[in-house]
Amino acid sequence: MDERYIQPDTTRDTTSGEREGVWPATVWSAGGVPGRELRMRVSARNHFVGLVQARSRGAINTEVLLSLDGGEYLTATVTNRAAEHLGITLGQQCHALFKASSVLVGTGEARLSVRNVYCGTVVDLQRGPVNAELTLRTAGGLELTAMLTAAAVDSLGMAVGVEAFALVKASAVILAVE
């Protein structure tokens, strides 16, 4: 199993006949109340595990830099209260999750204010009549899943093998610790 990307425990058929992943259960603290935990599966298609390399506290938010396998980095911005509740420290293992709909995809060159920019190759494209699910793999092996419209797939010329980039705003990343 590729440890940079948490694979589904199993797959199952949906009512539409497609296959979907059954993701590992994750324990979450409910509202920061001690002893009140929830064991659940999450729908976020992007789940990475990394080590905290930097933590920068601002007036309201804390920016957390995670190092991922393959030499990639991911920046997350969480509220100061969330960072304190999680007890985020340097060198700590941390899970980062974000939905496929939080990933923007593009081609060519662009100057952007987004903290997380990943260049790679489209390795999978599942197209529906309205939306498409795209998987982009970086040179370091990181795979990101994005949801985009079928019209965007056409206008960007997306297909397996196309060089593209994926963008994830730091504020879209959810952090979790064990």
Nearest-angstrom CA–CA distance, 49 and 173 = 12
Q: Which amino acid is at 92?
A: Q
What band does 30 get if pLDDT is binned at 50, 70 and 90? very low
pLDDT digits (tens, 9 = 90+) for 83-122: 999 999 999 999 999 999 999 999 988 888 898 999 999 9
Domains and CATH numbers, the chain: 10-99+170-176 (2.40.50.100), 100-168 (2.40.50.100)
Mean of pLDDT over the chain? 84
Is the pLDDT score of 14 beyond 50? no
Is the pLDDT score of 153 beyond 60? yes
Is the pLDDT score of 35 beyond 90? no
